[in-house]
């Protein structure tokens, strides 16, 4: 085992990315989930203080194939094992993670429990009961849990570059209000790259309060949990912003909630999409885009409202990967 000595229960999912494990583990979209990494060597480049996607780590646990070696990278400040301990994330190693991934692909993402103790004493019946007691992600609103409680202005750091590190944005051309359902820091950095001022607000911020900020556009962020559960309070806010003719763009969970606000429906996927190499067909341009994905819910194609146009489609399972409103500048994509 590695990381924090303890027990973690959640939905067991897999991620096929070769790099970026610190960003993956710190992504709020993984709340209540245990990540099974398919790549055999995780932890080789250590961790640093700059690549967190969130200040609080919401991931429940990690499953890794091989024991972690000492980190070798000029940016490394801390061993992954130490970083996991600090953030109270339980991990286990020595697992055939690709075989586990095959199981998940055949049977669907199961709920599970992992436990790490240096004493190697485990009460299997208790762990099994704990797993069975957990209700799963369906109907679970996690956006409210991970969302910021107070509005703030992103301080303008752009995406990381080798020569300069993180630079501050010195010029604001547009004002974007980001509704936080579990937003990743790197998404905010991309907005700064386009010289945008970004105000991040809670997922329950009223439409009137958002309108008072006088944004040029609205961004619906990524996040964890069931979009239908989040939609109970999110849908009225989005509907009002669309009615007021604000440009709206959503990703990941924000894409799903936007679809609900436009009259579509969502459902839990059997497998989910998680990884950095998912091919998606852009139906407008006709080209294929390789995307990074992390979602366990999808927008249902059947009975899609006539005012919605499908713009992107997965080449893995033909699921909806992007939509737009035909009459207004309102659109979204499933990737993040």
Check which CATH number belongs to the domain holding 287 and give it. Answer: 3.40.50.880
- Residues 149 and 271 both lie in one domain: yes
Residue 138 within a domain: no
- Residues 327 and 183 both lie in one domain: yes
Residue 317 within a domain: yes
Which of 115, 133, 151 marks a domain boundary? 133
Sorted by sequence, the CB contacts under 8 Å of residue 68 that are 6+ apart come out as: 2, 42, 43, 44, 79, 80, 81, 93
Residue 84 within a domain: yes
Using a 10 angstrom Cβ sphere, with 0-12 exposed, 13-18 middle and 19 or more buried, the burial of residue 268 is middle
- Residues 85 and 221 both lie in one domain: no
The number of domains in the chain is: 2
Nearest to 237 by CA among 214, 216, 260, 253: 260
Is residue 213 within 8 A of residue 153, CB to CB? The reply is no
Task: Give Cα 264 to chain centroid, integer Å.
Answer: 21
- Per-residue tens of pLDDT for the chain, all 336 residues: 999 999 999 999 999 999 999 999 999 999 999 999 999 999 999 999 989 999 999 999 999 999 998 999 999 999 999 999 999 999 999 999 999 999 998 999 999 999 999 998 899 999 999 999 999 999 999 999 999 999 999 986 666 666 666 666 667 789 999 999 999 999 999 998 888 999 999 999 999 999 999 999 999 999 999 999 999 999 999 999 999 999 999 999 999 999 999 999 999 998 889 888 999 999 999 999 999 998 999 999 999 999 999 999 999 999 999 999 999 999 999 998
Q: What is the pTM assigned to this prediction?
A: 0.93
Element (DSSP H or E) covering residue 245: none
Alpha helices in the chain (DSSP H): 21-25, 80-86, 97-107, 124-133, 143-146, 185-193, 207-212, 227-243, 253-261
Residue 203 within a domain: yes
Nearest to 140 by CA among 69, 60, 228: 228
Which residues, listed in sequence order, are joined to residue 165 by a DSSP beta bridge? 161
Task: Give Cα 181 to chain centroid, integer Å.
Answer: 9
Is residue 60 within 8 A of residue 32, CB to CB? The reply is yes
Which of 80, 107, 133 marks a domain boundary? 133
pLDDT score of 272: 87
- DSSP characters over 77-136: -B-HHHHHHHTT-EEE-S--HHHHHHHHHHH---EEEEEE-TT----HHHHHHHHHH---
- Residues 302 and 177 both lie in one domain: yes
Nearest to 204 by CA among 185, 173, 231: 231
Q: What is the CATH number of the domain that holds 120?
A: 3.50.30.20
Is residue 18 within 8 A of residue 39, CB to CB? The reply is yes
Backbone angles phi, psi at 187, to 5 degrees: -65, -40
- Residues 53 and 155 both lie in one domain: no
Per the structure, the complete domain to which residue 305 belongs is given by: 143-333
pLDDT score of 167: 67
- Residues 238 and 324 both lie in one domain: yes
The CB density around residue 108, as the number of other CB atoms within 10 Å, is 14
- Residues 175 and 295 both lie in one domain: yes
- Residues 159 and 278 both lie in one domain: yes
- Residues 151 and 291 both lie in one domain: yes
Sign of the C-alpha dihedral, residues 221, 226, 232, 235? positive
Nearest to 225 by CA among 135, 114, 312, 321: 135
């Amino acid at each position: 085992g590695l990381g924090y000595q303890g027990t973690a229960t959640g939905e067991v999912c897999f991620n096929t990315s070769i790099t970026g494990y610190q960003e993956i583990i710190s992504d709020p979209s993984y709340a209540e989930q245990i990540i099974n990494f398919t790549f055999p060597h995780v932890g080789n480049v250590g961790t640093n203080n700059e690549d967190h996607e969130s200040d609080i780590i919401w991931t429940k646990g990690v499953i890794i194939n091989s024991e972690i070696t000492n980190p070798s990278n000029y940016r490394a400040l801390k061993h992954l094992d130490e970083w996991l301990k600090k953030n109270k994330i339980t991990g286990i190693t020595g697992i055939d993670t690709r075989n586990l991934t095959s199981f998940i692909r055949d049977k669907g993402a199961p709920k599970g429990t992992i436990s790490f103790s240096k004493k190697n004493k485990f009460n299997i019946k208790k762990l099994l009961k704990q797993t069975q007691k957990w209700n799963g992600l369906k109907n679970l609103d996690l956006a409210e849990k991970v969302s910021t409680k107070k509005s703030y202005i992103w301080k303008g750091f752009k995406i990381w570059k080798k020569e300069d590190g993180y630079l501050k944005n010195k010029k604001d051309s547009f004002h974007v209000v980001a509704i936080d359902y579990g937003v990743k820091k790197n998404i905010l950095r991309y907005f700064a790259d386009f010289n945008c001022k970004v105000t991040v607000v809670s997922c329950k911020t009223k439409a009137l309060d958002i309108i008072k900020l006088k944004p040029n556009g609205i961004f619906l962020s990524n996040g964890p949990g069931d979009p239908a559960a989040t939609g109970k309070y999110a849908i009225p806010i989005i509907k009002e912003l669309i009615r007021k003719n604000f440009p709206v763009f959503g990703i990941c969970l924000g894409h799903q909630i936007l679809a609900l606000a436009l009259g579509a429906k969502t459902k839990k996927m059997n497998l989910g999409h998680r990884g950095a190499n998912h091919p998606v067909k852009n139906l407008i341009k006709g080209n294929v885009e390789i995307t990074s994905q992390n979602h366990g819910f999808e927008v249902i194609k059947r009975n899609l409202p006539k005012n919605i146009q499908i713009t992107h489609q997965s080449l893995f399972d033909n699921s909806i990967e992007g939509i737009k409103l035909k009459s207004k500048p309102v659109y979204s994509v499933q990737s993040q």
